[in-house]
Structure 1
Amino acid sequence: MTAEDAVALLGRLSDHQVDVCVGGGWGVDALLKDQTREHSDLDVWAPAAQLERLFVALAKGGVDRVLPWPDDRPWNFVLHDGGRLRVDLHLYEPLPEGALHYGSAVDGVVFPAEALAGDGLIAGRAVRCEAAEWAVRWHTGYPPRAVDRHDVPLLCERFGIDLPGAFG
């Protein structure tokens, strides 16, 4: 997925009043304000209450098919266009005290809204993205992949974050 593809998808979501935050690899590159590698998808965080508008916005761009993955959940799944466009959705719910809830009612996670309050750039367009500390944290809950070994050290170096043990 090109930077232009990502920006077009984000523009379409914005046009439909979907309040998204960029995560994953594009979120890292947004924080770094430079594309440092190729990306196969665009990870976005969005309020679950805006799901209908999100579906409409993406469907107008042809991103209207579910790409089944073994770990799909109602709050995290991938939509695609049958070609190069893939959007990995992460749906959350705001809680009354200002935190965000992600996952099931039984064993979901609660995190501060500031985790999704980073500022970045993709192809010169300002985007909201994961905060650097949280982008690093979310890359550590599983064995690091090659893309994680690329992304995490760049974030740690740029933002003065200690490199997690799995990356040393």
Structure 2
Amino acid sequence: MSADEVVRVLDALDAHGAPVVVGGGWGVDALVGHQTREHSDLDLWLSAEAFEPFVVAVGELGIDRLSAWPGDRPWNFVVGDGGLLRLDLHLVEPVDDVDLHHGSAIGGVRFPRAALEGSGSVGGRVVRCESLAWSQRWHQGYPPRDVDRHDVTRLCDLAGLPVPHGYELDG
């Protein structure tokens, strides 16, 4: 997925009143300020109340498929156009003036709104993205893939922190 595609998606969502926060690998690249690797999808955080305008906007972009992936849930799933445009959607709901909730009522995760108050840029466009500290946190705690090692290294460089054990880049 190219930076131009990310900008096109974000512009369409904004035009329909579906504000999102960029997460995952594109969120890392937004914090860095330029693309550092290839991306197969675009992770987006969306308030559940903005789901209807989101559906309208992505429908106009040609996204008409829900792709079932292992672990998908009603609050986290992938939609796409059957080609290169894939969005990994993470729905959140406000708990109070400070926190957000992601997940089921029983096993969900509560985290501060500040986690989604980062700012960066993709393709020259200013975007809302995960904060540096929370992006680091969400890229850990599971067996890392090569892209996770890459992203965590970029985040640690930004924060001036050492790369955690197991996230070192080979070579």
| Structure 1: gaps (5+ residues) | none
Establish whether residue 38 from structure 1 lines up as the match of residue 38 from structure 2. Answer: yes
Aligned equivalents of 1:93, 1:146: Cα separation in 2: 31
**CA offset digits 1:136-155 (Å, max 9, x no partner):** 10011210001001110111
Secondary structure of the corresponding residue to residue 62 of structure 2: coil
SS for the counterpart of 1:165 is coil
Could you say what secondary structure the match of 2:166 adopts? helix
TM-score normalised by L of structure 2: 0.95
Q: Which residue of 1 aligns with 2:63?
A: 63
For residue 74 of structure 1, what is the amino acid of its counterpart? P
Cα distance in 2, alignment partners of residues 23 and 97 from structure 1: 21
Count matched residues.
168
**1:22 corresponds to:** 22
Provide, for residues 18-61 of structure 1, a one-character-per-residue CA deviation record: whole Å limited to 9, x for no partner.
12000001000000001000100010000011111101100100
Aligned residues: percent identity? 55
Distance 2:120 2:83 in 1: 27
- Give the C-alpha shift of residue 161 in structure 1: 3.5
Is the alpha carbon distance of 1:36 and 1:48 closer, same or farther for their aligned partners in structure 2, counting shifts above 3 Å? same
Deviations 1:86-105 (A, max 9, x none): 00000000112320000110
Cα deviation for residue 69 of structure 1 reads 0.3
Matches within 5 A, 1:56-95: 56-95=56-95
1:120 is the counterpart of 2:120: yes
The 1-side partners of 2:150 and 2:162 are apart by 15
Partners of 1:76 and 1:88 within 8 A in 2: yes
SS in 1 for 2:119: strand
1:162 CA drift (Å)? 4.4
Q: Name the TM-score, length of structure 1 as normaliser.
A: 0.97
Q: Please name the residue that 1:111 is paired with.
A: 111
